[in-house]
Structure 1
Amino acid sequence: MSIRVSSNQMVYGYQQQLNEANNRKSKLMEQGDGSKLHRPSDDSVAYTKYLRYQVSDNENTQYQNNVNTAISWMKTSDSAMVSMTDIQQTFKEKTVSAANDTNNISDMAAIGKEMMAEIQELVSLGNTMQGDSYVFGGQTDLTKPFSMSTDKVERGLAKTLDDNQAAFFSGDSGTNTTASLRQMLTLTGDDGNTYYLNTKDGQLYTKEFVESGYKDRLTQDSSAVVKPATDSVGKIASFADGTEKVSNYFKNTGEIIDASKNEAYGNAKLTATVDGKTVKFKFDTVKQQIVTYHGDDKGVSMVKKNGTTEPVADTVNVTGQELFGTDIFDDASSGNKASGSAMLNQMLTVQAKVDAADNEWLSSDGQTISDTAHATTVNTETKLGARQQLYTSVKTMLGNQNELITSDITDVSSTDVAKLAVQLMEAQTIYNMSLSLGARILPQSLADYLS
């Protein structure tokens, strides 16, 4: 019995096997670009790993870009703050010099002019840019953050306490609600005397007691703290019960809201009983220019690694409030929002007092303000330096991670060149042999298989 095989079947079977040999050779040829993975079907397990590594590589690249941008931003900020602290150090020295009562009018005028130039330079440094962004403007980084008024305004005069005074009048934070008191408002009574108002509890103290009288208490007991019942001479009830705040009278920059009403002793809320008599008060002010901050207090975050977000650790900018602190006109208990320019305006007060040749004020409040302004910027610069160091460390870590990820991608997707060369030679040989064999065994016609 004979089996008949049609020529079509023979040809179809041969073509199918030849195509498979050609496909194997083509797939091997694809690997000539260095990758053995071009589609999931090439190796589903390896392809899954490859995709996962690619995601990690993209994340790593993004984090490296974030870190590089952040470091550049912080270097720009740090450079500006270094210049600021240098200027503030010089400003401190000029304040000490101006406090010398041997200076004549022309000497004070010259010092005041130099101080104004230094403050203007601080404002200019506050407007430092990185690319098209203002580095000290918070998230409002496309708006110039600092501007100085051309006209002078009436600004409230604060009594700035030195460290010894602050320790005494702040008292024990465990029992005294006026803890961390750094400033009081200066008032003039219709009795002709000067008083200092603790805006947190409404207590009034004489100028003599705040300036020197408290020292007698400390001489007797070095741990002594203020006792309002005996140390104060009266109390302004509207501030004591919290119905009145600094914000009722002053803007956050310290500018008095209505200077005309302050000229007369007509505000019934600003009265107290002193030595059995009702005394009316008005706020002491100083005529000076004002710096206004147009940024916000929001952080600019540049994420440096995956996982949970860390808003504080990922913040790369410095805001006006961090740079120039707060004072009695814009602190948390004032009722105003932070101005972002407190120390600049305090320094402008110092400059105004230099122009006025007020040596007594400069020798106490002036020097304390200059020290505080410098210390505030130095403290902020230190914090930024720590964050910059952290980002620098993360940059090194991300570089190491990138090497590992690249190695993983290479291991799972790269072609073994030596092995590929052998496989290609085998595939090409098999393909050529198939072509040669096919030419010999394929029937010339159907008659050859008829018997």
Structure 2
Amino acid sequence: MSIRVSSNQMVYGYQKQLNDANYRQTKLLEQGDGSKLHRPSDDSVDYSKYLRYTVSENENTQYQENVNTAISWMKTSDAALVNMTAIQTTFKEKTVAAANSTNNSDDMKAIGKEMMAEIQELVSLGNTMQGDSYVFGGQKDLTKPFSMSTEEVNRGLAKTLDENQSAYFSGNSGADDAGSLTQMLSLTGSDGNTYYLNTRDGYIYTKDFVENGYKNVVAQDSSAIVDPTRDAVGQLAGWGSTSPTEKVSKYFKNTGEIIDKTVELSGATATTGSSVPNIGSLTFKFDTVKQQIVTYQGDDKGVSMVKKNGTTEPVADTVNVTGPEIFGSDIFDDANSGNKVSGAAMLNQMLTVRAQVEGLDNEWLSKDGQTVADGVHATTVNTQTKLGARQQLYESVNTMLSNQNELITSDITNVSSTDVAKLAVQLMQEQTIYNLSLSLGGRILPQSLADYLR
């Protein structure tokens, strides 16, 4: 009986050792796929590091995808903006050419036709797509942003101030988003004369003073700014007060289309220095020009593509530019107008220029027309510059993410990969031990039941 117990113990001990050797060999063979970590029990410390590194790698991969998509989006946008600025440069040249009083009606009609083709191309570029998305539509990127009307409407005629005029008349009128007054509304008085209305304070100026008279004031004092009580001929009530009853939005849509062409303004109060003593008895009508209108169906919201973890940066992470950024705003849709931003202000001003060309208004083109053309080009160039700066930032981040990915990959390799040379030696050792165990067991363990009976 004692022999049998002893033999059983010996058999059990041998089997356990043999199984342990087989288990160690199997564990080593698992590492043949290149990884030494298949479960937390393999190495709890390294496995926890491996999990952290893997999370970092997944985040890095997602950020790289975001950045690459953003760069692609911005390159598409930039290419469209480059073409836009080139067209606007040509448009400026045509405006200068049209202002030449030697042009006959056929010349002006030809220039107007070329201008319309250029505006239509700008509208087409405004509808540039990246995949299924319109890159200039804001967050409404699945909606075609720009469209031009087929019919002509009556649009308000604005007096666009040049740099010197803007500097002078911005004095007491309140500043717009750009920090200066850039436009006034053109009016025709019941006396047949043209006047300009500052919609921010309701003051009315004669056409001659806005275009020429202010220069006499500046000649006497180079630092002079507008003094409405001295320079204006009158003031319309309800404009520019704390709680104004009169706003541009009461008379015009944000595209500049007049709501009621028959409306008349009256009740002007003469100012101290008025050169029109009977200003109070005059009525005024808004000047208009018949033209097509471009509308914008997108919004002014940014599309963000996060490029790194941490706090979100809506401005820095924005990869798109919108209609309002490309085509600015004007007197009909700026912050003071009471209207929402139209998103197509400069396009509609270009259509005004084109309408004035076909109307043979050389005087307007030589002053307002050229100022408008310059402003249109400058607005788009400014937007393109900002987009280019953001694109450079994303390209720098892309390089940084690539470098980080290499480091993370290296960390993962160091913590999880198999040391092939060491593994080969361990496998040979375990295989040798296993084979010796089999050989030894065959000699020591009882061969049959007869051995127990002896």
TM-score class normalised by the smaller sequence: over 0.9
Q: Find the partner of 2:387 among 378, 384, 388.
A: 384
Map 1:125-204; keep pairs closer than 5 Å. 125-171=125-171, 177-178=174-175, 180-204=180-204
1:372: which partner in 2? 375
Deviation at 1:149, TM superposition (A): 0.2
- Structure 2 Cα separation of the partners of residues 297 and 437 of structure 1: 83
Which blocks of at least 5 consecutive residues in structure 1 are unaligned? none
Do residues 33 (structure 1) and 36 (structure 2) align?
no
Question: Which stretch of structure 1 is more off in the superposition, 13-22 or 36-45?
Answer: 13-22
Map 1:211-360; keep pairs closer than 5 Å. 211-241=211-241, 242-259=244-261, 261-262=262-263, 265=264, 271-273=268-270, 275-276=277-278, 277-360=280-363
Deviation at 1:434, TM superposition (A): 1.3
Amino acid at match of 1:78: D
Deviation at 1:306, TM superposition (A): 1.1
- Structure 2 Cα separation of the partners of residues 108 and 37 of structure 1: 79
1:185 partner SS: strand
Question: Which stretch of structure 1 is more off in the superposition, 232-241 or 85-94?
Answer: 232-241
- Structure 1 Cα separation of the partners of residues 238 and 281 of structure 2: 15
- Contact 2:234–2:268 at 8 Å: present in 1 too? no
Q: Deviations over 1:201-243 (max 9, x none)?
A: 1111111100100000011111110001111111111214222
Deviation at 1:4, TM superposition (A): 6.0
2:366: which partner in 1? 363
- Contact 1:92–1:371 at 8 Å: present in 2 too? yes
1:180 partner SS: coil
1:195 partner SS: strand
Which blocks of at least 5 consecutive residues in structure 2 are unaligned? 271-275
2:62: which partner in 1? 62
2:53: which partner in 1? 53
- Contact 1:199–1:246 at 8 Å: present in 2 too? yes
Q: What is the TM-score normalised by the length of structure 2?
A: 0.94
1:237 partner SS: coil
Deviation at 1:163, TM superposition (A): 0.1
- Contact 1:5–1:449 at 8 Å: present in 2 too? no
- Structure 2 Cα separation of the partners of residues 291 and 15 of structure 1: 88
2:285 partner SS: strand
Off by >4 Å, runs of 4+ in structure 1: 1-4, 270-274, 445-451
Deviation at 1:176, TM superposition (A): 5.7
Do residues 423 (structure 1) and 450 (structure 2) align?
no
Q: Find the partner of 2:411 among 404, 408, 415.
A: 408
- Structure 2 Cα separation of the partners of residues 279 and 272 of structure 1: 10
- Structure 2 Cα separation of the partners of residues 443 and 229 of structure 1: 125
- Contact 2:24–2:430 at 8 Å: present in 1 too? yes
Amino acid at match of 1:324: F
- Contact 1:324–1:343 at 8 Å: present in 2 too? yes
Q: Deviations over 1:243-300 (max 9, x none)?
A: 21111111110001122x33xx3x55x7454524322111110000000001110111
CA RMSD after TM alignment: 1.7
